[in-house]
Structure formats: C-alpha cells, structure tokens
Chains A and B, each alone.
Chain A
C-alpha cells in the first residue's frame, strides 16, 4: 500500500513532463529530418519512414559552422571567467564570512532576480555608443564618436554572458566550501603544506563537485543564449541561439531550425550526461 501511494504521486507530474518536455524533444528530431508543405507547414519525418538527411547536409556544409564555433568559444570563455572570479569569492564568503555569510552570498544572487533582458539593457545604457560611460569620456575630452566602442565586440558578448550566469557558478561552489570540514585545511597546514599546496591537494579536491556543477550550470545556458549576442554584439558575433531564434521567430525554414537545434543538443550532450550521472549518484548516496 505504502509503495503504491508514493509511486502514484509520480504520475501527474511525470505525465506532464512526458507530454510537454519529452514529446516536444521528439518533435524537434522528427522536424529535423522533415520538410514543409506548400503552405509552409512542417511535414514531420518519423523514424524509419524515409529519413531525409538533406537538412543535415545544409547545416554541416554551410555558413552555420562559425555560429556553432562562436557559441562554444564564448560559452567556454564566460565559464572560465565565472570560475576564476567565482571560486575565490565563494571561498572567502563560505570560510571567512562568519555569521554574515548567507547574507553575503544573497547579495551576489540578488542581481540575478532582476529581469534578464533588463540586465542586458543595463549594459547598453552604461557602455553603449550613446551610453553613460561614453558621455563621461567625451566630457573628459576624448575624441571620437563614440570615444570608445565597447559594444558590438566579442568580449562584450562574453562579458554579458558572464553577467547573466555568474550566480550559477557561485552557489554550488559556496555550498561545497560551506560543507567542507575546515579541519581538513588545518590538517594540511599542520603537515607543513604551503597555502598553495593545501589548496591544490585539500581544498580544491574537496570542493570539486561544486566546481563541476558550477561549470555545467553556466556553460549550458550560456551556449544556448541569444539575447546577449543580439544586443551586446554585432552580426559578426552571431551565436547558434541567434540563428535558431531567427529561423523560428523571423520566418525561416522551420525544419532547418530543427536540424540546428538537434546539432546543438549533440554538441552539448556530453556536458548534460556528465551532470546527470553525478547528480544521480549524489541522490543515490543520500546526499541532496
């Protein structure tokens, strides 16, 4: 009786996720092999019913490859930046924040609650050609219109991605350092480890799970992002998200959009599987 009761709790949310998460994923795959009718409606190609690979040929032999490459490169750079900044910050809060540490970490998360587009817009206000900083630089006597072109560059896009997803790096690392027994660090020092050695051999391995979670949680959404590249970048910083968005929302050839989405999924699948395995292991071992 008891077992049946708890299992029945899984049914409504399970059905919901199958209908509105799994089935749509299947439709993307079916559309990626499909075509359109004369009204532009998608004709899906179901498995083993004559798969048409022409969309895949188009994607792999075309101008879309640079967009894939840029997504990968920008997301990697943003993730590294988040890690380099996020680790020390999360570490200092968790180890030295004392009673204030929850408050200090909340301060870092708070900006994430501000609407995503407004956060991107904020950088246009600050660094745009007619923005606040260029106004000051002009007042200071810098020549040029605008004095410095901040936006429209690849590093503006990377900076925007960093700004959008930074809390996802800080939170898991903060939790990992917070959980770690600080006596381990003391022990490392008692054994005459230098601070660097103690960090390398004790602290970092003990918090590695948090680093993995942070890297995955920043990289995955950053690689599929398109608003940062659209508003902070230029046509030469187009990411794969921009191409997919253009196909579906600005009247492109829908099956090709499906193919691009499938290729993108394949590109990030390794990250997703890696994360799922570590998360499944964590829940088996009775952690969170």
Chain B
C-alpha cells in the first residue's frame, strides 16, 4: 500500500535514498580488502627477491618452500590439528546445540552463558589460561595441546550455527515421526539430523579453517617440536620479509579459500519456505 503511494508521488532521491555513492564505497572497500592479498599472490611468482621489481614469472619460491622440510612438516601438522579439531568440536558443539535448544531450566541458562563466553573472550586470555593449565598438570606442550586449545574455542561456533538452524526446524515433523512409532533418538536420527546436515557441514568446515589459520592459541601452547604453519610464519616474520613467505601464504590462501567457498553456500542454503537466516548466525546471536 505505502509502496504504491510512494511510487505515485515524485520524490527527490538523495542521501541514503540514492545508493550510488554507497556502491562506490562498497567497491572501494572491496579493493582495500583484496588488493593486499592479490599483491602477495602476484609477488609469490616473482623470479627476483625484491618486492619492488617484478623480475618475471617463476615458481622458484614454491620450490624453495617445498624443499624446506620444516615448512612442509608444519603444513602437515596444521592439517592434522585442523582435522582432529573439526571432528571433536563438531560433535561437542552439536550436542551442546541440542541441549541448549531443548533442555529447560537453570542448567540450560548457565550452559548458554558458558557457551557464549569463549566467543567474546579475547583469544590471548584463553591462550594464557591454557598455557597455565598445561603447566599446572605437567603436560608437555605439543600438537596435542594445540588441538585441545583449538577444540575449546571452536565448540561455540558450531553450537551457534547449528542452534540457529535448529530453531528454524518444525518440531511437529519430529513429533509426527514419533507418532509413527519412532523413538525419540530414532526421530532425531531420521528426521532432525538430515535437516541439519548443511549447518553441521558448514560449521565443521568453518572450524577447520579457524583451526588451520589459528595463530594466538597455537603460539602460546606450542612446544619444542613441529609447530603449525601460522606459528612457523610468525617466526619467519620476526626474522624479516622473504619471498618464500609469499609462496607459503599463497598456498594457505588457496587452501582456506577453497574451504570457504564450500562453506558459504552451505550457510546460506535454505528452503524457500523457511524464514530468512542471514549468514551471520555464527557470531551475531
């Protein structure tokens, strides 16, 4: 109704009503976000050592990186940690999502706070705490302690994503399944879980990326042995800029962007009949 009246009355369109300058801002922001990353990628193929002269195309820095056993071990370690984190955090986070969405009473309330806290605690604080904990129980710092740390901060991301999807589901379908003779767990397995698969898969992939890219927790609780790739990059960066970092960085970009491109459609996926679930479920609450 109001839209038709609006169309009938001629109106000067300006300011927030005329989005052309806002689109210009959008393009500018995109350039700002992407140009530095593109520069890293381009210079990873530079045949020279300088960052100021592009001497020609070459893959020498990739060969240097592949012939560096330390970096290759770090890459493998990062994959192992991320895979283990993904499996455990997805299971625990999904359990927590079901518990929070369906359990009533005081326990649910405090569990909800306990779930939200890690999301907003600056990572340096949780990392300091984990370092003290592992020292207190005399655990040698290793890839295992890093994995424990990654699982701890990943659980909440899974929970928030899965719970948002769970809230959109029609509980009556599950009840119908039970009327047809399914047990409660049977209905969960046959009806509810399949409807949650996109959300569970998306959160699993997100956790993989969070773990794979994590630096703060990893640097605090890594030990003397092989360290994950971001910790390795940190020590390289402390020495100085080198084209080899461009090659390592570009490889990491390729891996995480591939995973991101698989994750985002899953997060946005919904049936036409469902209410809009914006892709921010992970963090906005």
Q: Which residues of chain A have a CB within 8 Å of any CB of chain B?
A: 1-3, 5-10, 12-14, 16-18, 20-25, 27-28, 31, 41-42, 44, 85, 88-89, 91-93, 95-96, 102, 104-111, 113-119, 121-126, 128, 130-132, 134-136, 138, 163, 166, 168, 171-172, 174-176, 178-179, 183, 186-187, 189-190, 194-196, 198-199, 203, 210, 213, 216-217, 220-221, 223-227, 231, 241, 244-245, 248-249, 254, 257-258, 261, 264-265, 268, 271-272, 275-276, 278-280, 282-283, 286, 288
Contacts and interface: CB of A to CB of B under 8 A. Distances in A.
Contacts of A195: 14-17
B189 interface: no
B124 interface: yes
Interface of B: 2-3, 5-6, 11, 14-17, 19, 22-23, 25-26, 29-30, 32-37, 39-40, 43, 50-53, 92-93, 95-96, 98-105, 107-109, 111-118, 120-126, 128-133, 135-136, 148-149, 151-152, 155, 159-160, 163-164, 167, 184-185, 209, 212-213, 215-216, 219-220, 229-230, 233-234, 237, 241, 245-246, 249, 252-253, 256-257, 259-260, 264, 268, 276, 278-281, 283-285
Nearest to B95: A9
Given A5-B184, A114-B252, A190-B2, A17 B33 contact: no
Nearest to A120: B237
Contacts of A217: 120, 283-284
Given A7-B107, A21-B152, A114-B253, A189 B11 contact: yes
Contacts of B241: 121, 124-125, 128, 130
A122 B40 contact: yes
A284 to B, nearest CB: 9
A27 B26 contact: no
Given A20-B152, A42-B132, A249-B220, A122 B39 contact: yes
Contacts of B149: 20
A108 B268 CA distance: 15
A86 B268 CA distance: 21
Given A106-B264, A227-B215, A244-B124, A9 B155 contact: no
A17 B167 contact: no
Contacts of A216: 120
7 contacts: A111-B34, A119-B37, A172-B283, A210-B284, A227-B216, A245-B124, A261-B125
**Those 8 A-B pairs whose CB atoms lie nearest each other, nearest first:** A24-B129, A135-B52, A224-B122, A122-B36, A10-B99, A175-B278, A9-B99, A92-B22
B132 A288 contact: no
A272 B279 contact: no
Contacts, number: 337
A283 B234 contact: no
Given A20-B152, A179-B276, A190-B6, 5 more contacts: A9-B96, A12-B92, A13-B93, A27-B132, A248-B131
A90 to B, nearest CB: 10
A199 B16 contact: yes
A184 B35 CA distance: 38
Given A114-B37, A125-B246, A288-B167, A17 B125 contact: no
Nearest to B40: A122
A12 B95 contact: yes
B35 A126 contact: yes
B256 A114 contact: yes
B116 to A, nearest CB: 6
Given A16-B92, A89-B22, A187 B33 contact: no
Contact of B103 (A3, A18, A275): A3
Nearest to B53: A135
Contact of A178 (B111, B167, B276): B276
